[in-house]
Structure 1
């Protein structure tokens, strides 16, 4: 094995396992094979065939057990990963669990995950119940589980398989991935992320996971399973990686690439997991958080797409007024093609929400009339499920609170509200 400063050797496990549960009140009334046959026409045939083949092989087992024989599922963690009260109530009322387990070698396709999830979804669909993904500690209704499986071309959305939880740390937010181990790869982590980049950095982590997973599975493509796969120490991530990971490859234009350095963070506890740290490239001298903010600006043609303002202080009010006063001039430059080369114009605007407006960024694609802008969203919105990264949006000029001209390094002009946030003058929370 060649070890250089350019590559990081990551160990390859001998085999991988997937476990899915279907809680039931009583015993199943429909056989597993019958339930899987009922998926005909609802599941891409390559995956349907894979599920049937593995069900008939020693690589998969399906057992029905009294629920008390299985370790208790922690309701607090299930809730943290999205479980509803109805799902938790059905789990509490269950007397039995159908346990679907599958094993396969690392590589692509991840047959153990695809087949086990398909079979568990079939059983849950026949029983009108839920699927519990044990790896992710996540409830899935059968329809959601089936939608997450590959289409006829073998394509998936990585966000359906890899979660990005985060928590507060001493110097910012601590992000990790939860799902790369399904494929044999170490999970990612990043620390010191500015707290106003919550959603943007989660998307960056997902895009990075997609890029590294591709390199990982390419390294496992041979007939013989290697002991290590050498991943590049410098991972190159683009907006396209993020768009593909979210299942929207056609909705995202090209962006400048962002470099992230991989560092192995080995676990000191044999029961704990090792991680791959994401850091700025060697030679970057500023705080990590500043690099992460610049990376988000490059990848999303906007900065802090998730920021919400519930009150405006004097500095923020002045920033908004300054941006609005210059809208006519920046529109004229945009229409005249007078913006600097290799730059993009973005605007920040408000979406209505129960707790006040949510402010998101969008790249400007057309500004025919002064009153209305056509663009592409730079982020997923909390308040409007139709506003997703790369989706087409129409912005009323009266809703704009800021604009910026961006190049490959970040904000070149404008961005007054972000400057207020970066200076720490954030609006107070509502009383």
Structure 2
């Protein structure tokens, strides 16, 4: 194996395993084989055939165990990963578990995961029960589990297989992935992410996971499983990577790529996991959080971070009036936690300048008073050297000319002034 400064050798495990559970009250009244046969015509090939073949091979086992014979699943972690009260109640009331386990070599397709999830979902659907993904410590509705499997074109949404949890640290947020080990790849992590990038950086991590997983499986494409796969030290992430990971390839924009440096962080504790860390490229000046903010501004370019105009025309005046009329409602929804998950509220406001106002965007972090908004700048201002990407800002509501809600694919709501500019009708000077 050739080792260079451009590539990072990542070890490949000898085999991979998947474990799924189906809690039941009493012994199951259906066999796994008959449940899988019932999916004929509903589950795309090759997954349906793959599940049937693995059921008949030593690569898969399906056992029914009294629930006390299986290690207890921690309710607090299940809750942290989305378990509802009804699902936890059904698990607590269960007397038995159907345990579906499969093994396979690293590479694509991940037959162990696809087949085991298909079999468990088939049994759970027949028994009107749940699927528990032991790797992800996550409850899955049987229908959702089946929909997460490849469609007729062989496509899957990576967000159905890889989670991106985060926690607060001394220098900002700590993001990790949970799911890449299903495919043999080390999990990713990023440290020092600014708080206002919670949703945006989760999407960037998912896009980075998609790109690196593609490089990883390309490196495993031969007949023999190699001891290492060489991943590029400078990984690229684009809006297309994010859109495909979320299952919306037709919604991606032509964003420039963002570079992230890949470093191996081996665990010092033998019981702990090693990580692949995502960092700014070598030589980047300033804190890492500033680079991460700039990367998000590049990738989510549905809103331009810095727009100038001197005197609004009719179309722009109407856009500003529309945005201001909705400030009360969007504030109530923001404070009430009623915005959709994985979205970010941003505002556009004016900074005074010699040539007229400079309009910049900021991510909203709190909005306790109707008159004042606290946020973090999404761009570097030309007119005010104190306003830099990632710097805290306090904005008077009277200065706001627009607001928008962003998700991984761009603007989902608002952005009226940007729509005027994008339509090619800039205000008359």
TM over 0.5: yes
Aligned-pair distance for 1:351? 9.0
CA contact (8 A) 2:261 2:281 kept: yes
In the TM superposition, what whole-angstrom CA distance separates every residue of 1:343-367 from its partner, at most 9, and x where no partner exists? Answer: xxxx9996997972349xxxxxxxx
Structure 1 alignment gaps of length 5 or more:
306-321, 335-346, 360-380, 390-398, 405-412
Count of residues in Structure 1 that have an aligned counterpart in Structure 2:
361
> Per the alignment, do residues 67 and 258 of structure 1 end up closer, same or farther by CA in structure 2, a change over 3 Å counting?
same
- The answer for unaligned runs of 5 or more in structure 2 is 351-357, 364-373, 378-390, 397-429
Q: C-alpha distance in 1, partners of 2:298/2:393?
A: 24
Question: Is the partner of 1:68 in helix, strand or coil?
Answer: helix
2:263 aligned partner: 263
The corresponding residue for 2:146 is 146
Q: How far did 1:151 drift?
A: 0.6
Provide the TM-score with structure 1 as the length reference: 0.77
- Mapped to 1, the partners of 2:327 and 2:217 lie a distance apart of 40
- 1:2 paired residue number: 2
2:214 aligned with 1:214, yes or no? Answer: yes
- 2:390 pairs with 1:414: no
Q: In 2, are the aligned partners of 1:22 and 1:99 still within 8 Å (CA)? A: yes
Counterparts of residues 230-249 of structure 1 (less than 5 Å): 230-249=230-249
CA RMSD between the two structures: 3.2
1:17 aligns with 2:20: no
The answer on whether the counterparts of 1:353 and 1:383 sit within 8 Å (CA) in structure 2 is no
Distance of 1:330 and 1:291 partners within structure 2? 35
Q: Distance in 1 between matches of 2:227 and 2:304?
A: 41
Show the counterpart of 2:392. 424
Q: CA deviation at 1:292?
A: 0.3
CA distance in structure 1 between the aligned counterparts of 2:326 and 2:72, rounded to whole angstroms: 44
After superposition, what is the alpha-carbon deviation per residue over 1:197-216, rounded to whole angstroms, capped at 9, x for unaligned? 00000000000000000000
Distance verdict in 2 for CA 1:137–1:84, change over 3 Å: same
How far is 1:325 from its partner?
9.1
User: Is residue 234–residue 261 contact of structure 2 (8 Å, CA) maintained in 1?
Assistant: yes
- Separation (CA, whole Å) in 1 of partners of 2:376 and 2:95: 52
Could you tell me whether the CA contact under 8 Å between 1:124 and 1:131 is conserved in 2?
A: yes
Change (3 A) 1:239 1:400: closer
Q: Is residue 260 of structure 2 the alignment partner of residue 292 of structure 1?
A: no
Contact residue 196 and residue 304 of structure 1 kept, 8 A = no
8 A contact 1:20–1:134 mirrored in 2: yes
2: distance between equivalents of 1:172 and 1:400?
20
Structure 2 Cα separation of the partners of residues 348 and 97 of structure 1: 55
Q: Is the Cα contact below 8 Å between 1:350 and 1:401 reproduced in 2?
A: no
Structure-2 change in CA distance of 1:86 and 1:293 (3 Å): same
**Which residue of structure 1 aligns with residue 113 of structure 2?**
113
Asked if structure 2 preserves the Cα contact closer than 8 Å seen for 1:118 and 1:146, the reply is yes
Q: Secondary structure at 1:356's aligned position in 2?
A: helix
Q: Which moved more, 1:262-271 or 1:413-422?
A: 413-422
8 Å Cα contact 1:20-1:99 kept in structure 2: yes
1:356 aligns with 2:332: yes
- Once residues 327 and 143 of structure 2 are traced to their aligned partners in structure 1, the CA distance between those partners, rounded to angstroms, is 30
CA–CA separation in structure 1 for the residues paired with 2:170 and 2:328: 32
What are the residue-to-residue correspondences of 1:31-430 with 2, within 5 Å?
31-301=31-301, 328=313, 331=316, 356-358=332-334, 383-384=339-340, 401-402=347-348, 414-418=359-363, 421-422=376-377, 423-425=391-393
Q: Deviations over 1:175-215 (max 9, x none)?
A: 00000000000000000000000000000000000000000
2:346–2:361 contact (8 Å) kept in structure 1: no
Instruction: String of CA shifts for 1:141-194, please: whole Å, max 9, x gaps.
Output: 100000000011210000000000000000100000000000000000000000
Q: 1:124 to 1:354 in 2, by over 3 A?
A: farther
3-state SS of 1:185 partner: coil
Specify whether residues 403 and 41 from structure 1 end up closer, same or farther in structure 2 by C-alpha distance, changes over 3 A only.
farther
1:314 alignment partner in structure 2: none
CA deviations over 1:222-245 (Å, ceiling 9, x no partner):
001100000000001100000000
Closer/same/farther in 2, CA of residues 400 and 96 from structure 1, 3 Å limit: closer
